[in-house]
Structure 1
């Protein structure tokens, strides 16, 4: 049986008692089943990186690769975070491109390829993750690697007209065609990539030898059963009991997002202000909890959004708060998965309104955390990948403040019968297609045709 080799920008935390996220759990399960290797950046920088350090845990070997400060500046902060991230989230106005950064991005992908090459076995399946490493398969092919290689793009893939704003766009598309299977979050993302490939077909045929790359939608999910169980147990945590008493009879609306301009946080706070302006009866009856761990500091777009969100939350509390009630609690730090699960379960509304998102697993976690007998309501942006599956949520346009405000008012007054019906439909989807099915489906499609099993995919990947 072939091994699975995972390559990602960062390795998961090892041996520190840190609860792994859903993606790490799914990939580690897939690696453990087949036996495998996971290569990624160690998180450390040094002027003279050596070969990756290997650490065995069970059937999985972790290979930690160090990078130089110049690598991080050009590859990570430059092209990954200041070009590809804003472009894929439809913010071409925020692109900060330099040829030096692009050269470094390609060089680092070459370093990953060089680090992986001596560790590969002839029948290994290689699974590359996310936009940091788009050119990795091409770099491996240049070094003579003939293994099956797959790529999963965790963030949106932009429409062709926007994608053309990327310098060296043809080179990126040529790199995509070095993969055997390319997975995206939604059918719309897959169509966008296929449109770009079709539009540049003649140029690409001259640049690369076609491999018959398979492109499809593989919507990522969560460990539904485990998260639901965690939320049920979390109600007995002392901190959750304390918060339940503190909020008292007030309904809790929760948002959990990284601090990022793609998450629509200023627009969300404007919608909350609109709700309070037009529904005076909700004053002192509803509390909004926004948990926003700091994201990438030192990058202009992120620093601006941090200041704007903090100022807007402060003005809201100054305008509507009383001695015993603050309408908005804005917290800039991370919480454990258990505490988050308990907070989701306490909440009447989950407010997930990104301006653009590949999937947004918070939406799925909120649904899984609910008490089926008395579930909360999910208010979800139409521009989150999750909206293609969580169709029983209240779907909103995050740019339309009144639309979001009206959805909040509806969610806060929705009958228990409707809440149960909507929750049941979404929970059924999550139970049928947990993250383990996502991983198994992709790996199965990456296998050579002769070894593929009959697995029912979430969507037609063709």
Structure 2
């Protein structure tokens, strides 16, 4: 549960993200509000409610005129904080969101520069939309003096607010995706502008120490005269006219919510039904959004190697792979979906018997009961992205393992590896043979070791949940730099320092 003991004395907070915590949709009566779900909404809503504040973002559809006023005001009365919508046109969505944000920053920051489309018109539209967000903040009477901006879509908003000389006491930014190393970042024509924009904040937050390390390397490259005081998980930067802090804040999930839901009778019943539907086999679970960063093909190929090398796994395990639709109109994603389905068909054709098939592939979305049942029943979760800022599926699985019977197989390139190394089985998803061996080990692990490892994982995920993350960031953002410079680490994993740097 979130801690709000200091809410009475706290300043109102303004949260800025690409999307509002609601979606506007049309019904027979006109526009209506549908609350969004997700970790960010769950973390920030209690803080905004208790402190008072405003959330600024796109409402999910293009709206002309003021007909969105009534539904948003009704939501504000129920939620305890106000909403400030920023209207985006289809041209904005195409060039700013699908264009620069997701065809330049997303692939580049995840290490897939070959998929980047470095088109000047995307960059111009990105700046234009960031400027529109900044103007909305500057003109709103609801915006307070403490502003927290989220993610790669809105990097320039802080600098634009500084340029507009908006009266802000504290200005923070958190990047939810990885930050690339300097050699990769240099491929982007606008690298210097991106780094300069990040230096406009009082606090810049990253998921992991590796992301922080990469950012500091880019700062040193772009601005060699910048003075940097480094710690393991934080740094203070002196850019001449101002000082700022950069720090790693590993985001969490809502442990209590997932754990409590997994314990409900309807979830337990659905978990048993799922097991009957899949057969008397150990369930290997994959839950991923359709994305080339998730390592879906590599995972399937590792399973194929495991079935080939370890015949004992045949007619013993089934991979239940859920793929959530995403950006299907983008060429790279459509091609990935086709390749994924071909690979599933090939492996099933190779190994299936009359009574058993090694993969159950599901493309679509599931409700919270179904997801809880999948997490609870799985003997092992295969969370093997090629690169990921954190990967909350790993933490959701752990939180849902109320029977402590599962094993987490985790990519060392997921940000979560920095916290969960003690209890998870780490693997390099590019090494299909090693991943195949890790799958075998997970399946054959004894009950005592499974329970011991899961207990360690649940402790970490419980103690560093999404509320812990949000409160720590806000506390640090409001802390003057002269109170202390480099902060103490927020990471609890004792063996994290023993991990290879790439594990972060």
Structure 1 partner of 2:328 = 297
| Counterparts in 2 of 1:182 and 1:50: CA distance versus 1, 3 Å | farther
Q: 1:451 to 1:191 in 2, by over 3 A?
A: closer
The match for 1:377 is 407
Match of 1:319 in 2: 350
Counterparts of 2:489 and 2:54, CA distance in 1: 25
Cα-to-partner distance string for 1:81-109 (whole Å, 9 max, x where unaligned): 10000000000111112111101100000
Separation (CA, whole Å) in 2 of partners of 1:203 and 1:300? 42
**Structure 2 equivalent of residue 9 of structure 1:** 18
Question: How many Å separate the matches in 2 of 1:405 and 1:294?
Answer: 26
Q: 2:396 is matched with which residue?
A: 365
Cα deviation 1:407-434 (Å, max 9, x = unaligned) = 0000000011111111111111112111
* Residue of structure 1 in register with 2:171 after alignment: 149
Using the TM superposition, give the Cα deviation of residue 234 of structure 1 relative to its aligned residue in structure 2, in angstroms.
5.6
How many residues of Structure 1 are paired with residues of Structure 2 in the alignment?
455
Partner of 1:171: 193
Provide the residue aligned with 2:366 in structure 1. Answer: 335
Asked whether the 8 Å contact 2:419–2:491 carries over to 1, the reply is no
After TM superposition, the structure 1 = structure 2 runs for residues 24-103 of structure 1, keeping only pairs within 5 Å, are 24-45=41-62, 53=69, 54-55=72-73, 56=76, 57-103=78-124
Specify every segment of 5 or more residues in structure 1 that has no aligned partner in the other structure, as ranges.
none
Alignment of 1:69-218 (within 5 A): 69-119=90-140, 124-147=145-168, 148-202=170-224, 210-218=241-249
Cross-structure match for 2:416: 386
Q: How does 1:374-453 map to 2 (within 5 A)?
A: 374-391=404-421, 392-449=423-480
Decide whether aligned partners of structure 1 residues 249 and 456 sit closer, same or farther in structure 2, where only a CA change above 3 A counts: farther
* 1:345-360 map, 5 Å: 345-360=376-391
| SS, match of residue 44 in structure 1 | coil
CA-based RMSD of the aligned residues comes to 2.4
Work out the CA distance in 1 between the residues paired with 2:253 and 2:289: 18
Contact 2:429-2:435 within 8 A present in 1 as well? yes
Q: Distance in 2 between matches of 1:434 and 1:221?
A: 4
SS at match of 1:102: helix
State the 1:166 CA deviation: 1.1
Once residues 21 and 148 of structure 2 are traced to their aligned partners in structure 1, the CA distance between those partners, rounded to angstroms, is: 15
Q: Which stretch of the first structure deviates more once superposed, 274-283 or 13-22?
A: 13-22
| Contact 1:177–1:211 (CA under 8 A) maintained in structure 2 | no
Cα distance in 2 for residues equivalent to 1:437 and 1:197: 28
Q: Quick check: 2:285–2:380 contact (8 Å CA) kept in 1?
A: yes
Shift of 1:238: 5.0
Aligned equivalents of 1:58, 1:155: Cα separation in 2: 28
Out of 235, 240, 250, which is 2:281 matched to?
250
Shift of residue 24, structure 1, vs aligned partner: 0.9
Unaligned segments of structure 2, at least 5 residues: 1-9, 24-31, 228-238, 493-504
SS in 2 for 1:100: helix
Q: Deviations over 1:274-303 (max 9, x none)?
A: 111112222221110110111112222211
| Partners of 1:52 and 1:65 within 8 A in 2 | no
Say if 1:459 and 1:145 are closer, same or farther in 2 by CA, change over 3 A: farther
Q: CA deviation at 1:183?
A: 0.4
User: Take 2:278 and 2:304, find their aligned partners in 1: how far apart are those partners?
Assistant: 20
Quote the offset at 1:442 in angstroms: 0.3
Q: CA deviation at 1:218?
A: 0.2
